[in-house]
Amino acid sequence: MDDRADRAQAKVFFDLLVEEADELSYVIETMNRAASTGPAARATQLRLLRIELHEVLRCITQIRRRFPGVSVVGSLSAVASADRSEPRKGKEPVSTRG
């Protein structure tokens, strides 16, 4: 019984994280195209957003490892954007694929 409740909770949290990753990815892509702020301020904002996006993707990866099947493969549009946003130097890659 507890496993079903944990899985249901993981599914809800997973869906929220996917929405957050999609939104962060969109904001990062938009900021990359627009020059609304100075270069230094924009670079700082982008760095902070990328850090937040990578943390969200890390959480998604952990949920998928602990609860296989809570997501549909290919449901993350943010993955491609995150991979393009900034290389993860010296860190374990964050994979949200199966």
Does any domain span residue 84? Answer: no
Of 24, 25, 18, which is closest to residue 96 (Cα–Cα)? 18
Instruction: Using a pLDDT cut of 70, give the percent of the chain over it.
Output: 68
Domain with 55 in it = 2-69
Q: Which residues of the chain have pLDDT under 70?
A: 1, 35-36, 72-98
Question: What's phi and psi for 47, nearest 5 deg?
Answer: -60, -45
- 62 contact partners, CB below 8 Å, separation of at least 6: none
With both helix axes pointing from N to C terminus, report the angle between 39-66 and 2-33 in degrees, rounded to the nearest 10. 160
Does any domain span residue 85? Answer: no
Domain count across the chain: 1
pLDDT in tens, 47-59: 999 999 999 999 9
Indicate the pTM of the whole model. 0.68
Q: Would you say 75 and 18 are in contact if contact means Cβ atoms under 8 Å apart?
A: yes
Does any domain span residue 78? Answer: no
Report the amino acid identity of residue 62: Q
